[in-house]
């Protein structure tokens, strides 16, 4: 028995979604359009830390994965996520459904996955303890637990470190009037600035920043669209890597509304841990 290409692709696609991170924000009595660009971005970033749940859409290009597009809903505490994602990864294009709940991740959800796994629609990966143990290569399954369920505002906070934040203009995003801001920051400067952050904020941003460092990103260019209610509606991140262009946009819908995520029926699940036991038990050729 082996772990097929579609399962590996699904795992990679899941990391894409988490790395894209993004941001969303709670409402406020202030109007970001009346603030300086730096103040507007900082105000939205600070409110993002109060997020408990959100829904969003993701679209763009990720190094090694090609184009990605999907939609998700997630809860920060307890950590849970439900996502459907489409990729055009060279040689392995397709759709994948990702469910994360109760310290387990389920990948698959398509007829193609069921065909590859003897009728089982989902591959289950146990996430408990992986992050603490530091298992897995950068960007691999061992890094997933630290990102899943993390407040996505950790990403938008990076724009606070840009010295060139400027107002680009106004735009209507999914029916909401927004003001767009843009800035560029060096990843090395982001790393240096972490020492000045609060412990919890620093912990969140370190996990996200490590992913960009592993990709070889030197500079991040970020755009953020903030509504008249001081809520971030959309977030775009771009950067050059050794594997190609990173360019991902996240657009946000519901914020701090109840999110329910359920594990797939046991009859539809193949457990990765059990698969590995079977592999180890097989006699050597």
Q: Which two tokens stand for residue 265?
A: 């029926």
Q: Where are the domains of the chain?
A: 5-281
Can you give the pLDDT of all 285 residues of the chain as single tens digits? 344 444 434 334 334 333 333 333 333 344 555 688 888 888 887 777 777 888 889 999 988 778 989 999 988 878 899 999 888 877 666 888 899 999 899 988 777 777 878 888 899 998 875 543 333 333 333 333 344 555 555 576 677 778 889 999 999 999 999 999 999 988 888 888 777 677 766 776 777 788 788 888 999 999 999 988 888 889 999 999 888 889 999 898 888 898 899 999 999 999 888 777 766 666 655
* 236 strand-pairing partners: 223, 249
Q: What torsion do the CA atoms of 215, 221, 227, 233 make, to the nearest 10 degrees? A: -20
Q: Which two tokens stand for residue 63?
A: 């190094």
3-class secondary-structure state, position 203 = helix
CA neighbor of 17 nearest in space, from 84, 109, 113, 111: 84
- The answer to whether the beta carbons of residues 238 and 245 sit under 8 Å apart is yes
- Topology of the domain comprising 5-281: outer membrane lipoprotein receptor (LolB), chain A (2.50.20)
CA neighbor of 150 nearest in space, from 208, 192, 95: 208
In Å, what is the CA distance from 56 to each residue of 74, 107, 235, 249, 251? 9, 19, 11, 10, 5
């Amino acid at each position: 028995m082996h772990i097929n290409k579609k399962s590996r692709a699904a795992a990679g696609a899941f990391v894409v979604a988490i790395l894209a991170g993004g941001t969303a924000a709670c409402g406020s009595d202030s109007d970001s359009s009346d603030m300086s660009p730096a103040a507007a971005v900082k105000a939205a970033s600070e409110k993002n830390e109060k997020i408990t749940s959100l829904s969003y859409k993701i679209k763009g290009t990720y190094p090694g994965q090609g184009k990605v597009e999907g939609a998700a809903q997630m809860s920060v505490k307890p950590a849970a996520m439900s996502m459907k994602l489409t990729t055009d990864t060279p040689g392995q294009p397709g759709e994948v459904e990702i469910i994360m709940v109760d310290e387990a991740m389920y990948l698959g959800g398509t007829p193609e996955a069921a065909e590859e796994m003897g009728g089982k629609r989902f591959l289950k990966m146990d996430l408990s303890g992986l992050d603490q143990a530091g298992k897995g290569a950068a960007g691999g399954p061992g890094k997933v637990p630290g990102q899943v369920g993390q407040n996505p505002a950790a990403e938008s906070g990076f724009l606070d470190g840009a010295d060139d934040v400027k107002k680009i203009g106004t735009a209507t995003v999914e029916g909401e009037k927004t003001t767009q801001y843009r800035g560029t920051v060096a990843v090395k400067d982001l790393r240096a600035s972490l020492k000045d952050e609060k412990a919890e904020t620093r912990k969140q941003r370190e996990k996200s920043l490590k992913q960009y460092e592993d990709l070889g990103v030197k500079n991040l260019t970020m755009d953020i669209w903030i509504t008249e209610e001081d809520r971030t509606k959309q977030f775009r991140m771009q950067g050059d890597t050794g594997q190609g262009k990173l360019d991902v946009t996240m657009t946000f819908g519901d914020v701090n509304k109840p999110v329910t995520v359920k594990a797939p029926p046991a009859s539809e699940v193949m457990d990765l841990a059990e698969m590995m036991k079977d592999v180890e038990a097989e006699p050597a050729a």
